[in-house]
Amino acid sequence: MDYPIIDAVATGARIRELRIQHHLKVSDISRYMGFESEQAIYKWQRGDALPTVDNLYALSKLLGTPMDDILCGVDMGEGESFLPDFLLAFLNHKFNDILEIAR
């Protein structure tokens, strides 16, 4: 298995595509995330930056899709997740730990 690499530009295009599919404005996502401005979402969509793990998790919940459906890997085969199952489980587990501590 090759080491997976996230394509920031393709991921940004995917975020934009999902946002449009869900009839959301950039301002809707910004407000949901609790951001003071929309700049972070525009940076994600341009591929200038990637969402942090917690923002990616929140975005996946808002869009009703798994995190690895938002992220786009380089040379990823069709229908194949480039994030190993153990990594997805780890990320979800850590985020749930953070949520539990925050409660």
- 3-23 CB burial, b ≥16 within 10 A, e <16: ebeebbeebbebbbebbeeee
DSSP 3-state assignment of 50?
coil
- Name the DSSP class of 22: T
Q: Encode pLDDT of 14-54 as tens digits.
A: 999 999 999 999 999 999 999 999 999 999 999 999 999 99
Provide the pLDDT confidence category of residue 6 given band limits of 50, 70 and 90. confident
DSSP string covering 70-91: H--BTTPPTT--SS-HHHHHHH
Q: Under CATH, what is the fold of the domain 8-102?
A: 434 Repressor (Amino-terminal Domain) (1.10.260)
Check residue 51 and give its pLDDT.
95
